[in-house]
Amino acid sequence: MDQIRKQVRVFILDNFLDGAPPEQLDDTASLERSHIVDSARMMELIMFLEEAFSFEVDNEDAVPENFDTVNNIVGYVSRKVG
């Protein structure tokens, strides 16, 4: 789970926050309400997760409960990859 968290955080920091320091990304903050992701960036994030962790995100799984915070993403990916 720590490795998943690290990969997700690095991706978001590098791609959506222009390489901001890690302390600028709160694992419990809403990525949408913090204006870190929009619909296009969410697709980019989902594509990264599918490639990095070798699974497919089903349309019904693409909901805020799975993708709105780093913690939600880590939990979702952990469930998908076992």
Structure tokens, 8: 């997700």
| 29 Cβ contact list (under 8 Å, min separation 6) | 69, 70
Q: Specify the amino acid at residue 54.
A: S
Which residue's entry shows tokens 């993403």? 73
CA distance 59 to 27: 24
List the domain range (segments joined by +) for residue 41: 2-81
Per-residue pLDDT tens over the stretch 10-65: 999 999 999 899 999 999 999 999 999 998 999 999 999 999 999 999 999 999 89
pTM of the model: 0.93
Q: What is the CATH number of the domain that holds 28?
A: 1.10.1200.10
Number of domains in the chain: 1
Query: CA of 19: how far to CAs of 28, 48, 71, 74, 77, in Å?
Result: 19, 17, 20, 20, 23
